[in-house]
Amino acid sequence: MAKFLYRMQNILELKQKIEEQEKANFGIATAKFNEEQSKLRELMLRQQEYEKHLKEISIGDINVSEIKTAKSAVASMKVALRDQMIEVSKAQKVMENARKRLNNVMMERKMHEKLREHAFEEFLDEMDHEESKIVDELVSYSYFKNEDE
């Protein structure tokens, strides 16, 4: 029996390798996004602690310098939070771009796999046709051989 050879097999393999690379890139981008979100949560918790501390020192005996220090800490945390939100947004955009590239590469690979499947089906049809042709020839040969005898 003939062996099936897909003429664009090397392209399909290349698409599969590219997809693996894009999966790795997406994984890295997702990890970076999760890391930036984690940093943002930590900063939010720290800001809440600073605000709680500011409320606590505002009650009872008032120490002006300590209150000023606590207020500046809260203000600096707001700046740090804003900066971290920008970093989270950047990481999210990178992750979304990686997701889009991965989806495109996956669609291209699937398209090539479908083409390969169709080529294989055509190959099987051709093999069936050849086989039936051989069977017909054998039957004809047998019939005429029997008729001659």
CATH number of the domain enclosing 103: 1.10.287
Q: Domain for residue 133, yes or no?
A: no
| Domain-located, residue 144 | no
Q: Is residue 87 part of a domain?
A: yes
16 has a pLDDT exceeding 90: yes
The least confident of 52-56, 61-65, 115-119, 129-133 is 61-65
pLDDT band at residue 122 using 50, 70 and 90 as cut-offs: very high
The answer to whether residue 1 scores a pLDDT higher than 70 is no
- Gyration radius of the chain over CA positions: 35
Flag whether 130 is in a domain.
no
Task: Give the pair of three-digit tokens for residue 40.
Answer: 């943002």
Residue 120 lies in a domain: no
Count of C-beta atoms within a 10 Å radius of residue 28: 13
Question: Rounded distance, CA 1 to CA 108, Å?
Answer: 31
DSSP state of 7: T
Lookup result for tokens 């046709």 = 129
CA-to-CA distance for 52 and 40, rounded, in angstroms?
A: 18
pTM across the whole model: 0.76
Q: Is residue 139 part of a domain?
A: no
Helices (H), 1-149: 9-58, 64-148
Q: What's the number of domains the chain is made of? A: 1
The answer to whether the Cα torsion of 54, 58, 59, 64 is positive or negative is positive
Q: Which domain holds residue 36?
A: 9-108
Are 47 and 81 in contact by the 8 Å Cβ rule? The answer is: yes
Mean pLDDT on 15-42:
97
**Could you report the per-residue pLDDT of 35-50, keeping only the tens digit for each?**
999 999 999 999 999 9
Does a structural domain hold residue 66?
yes
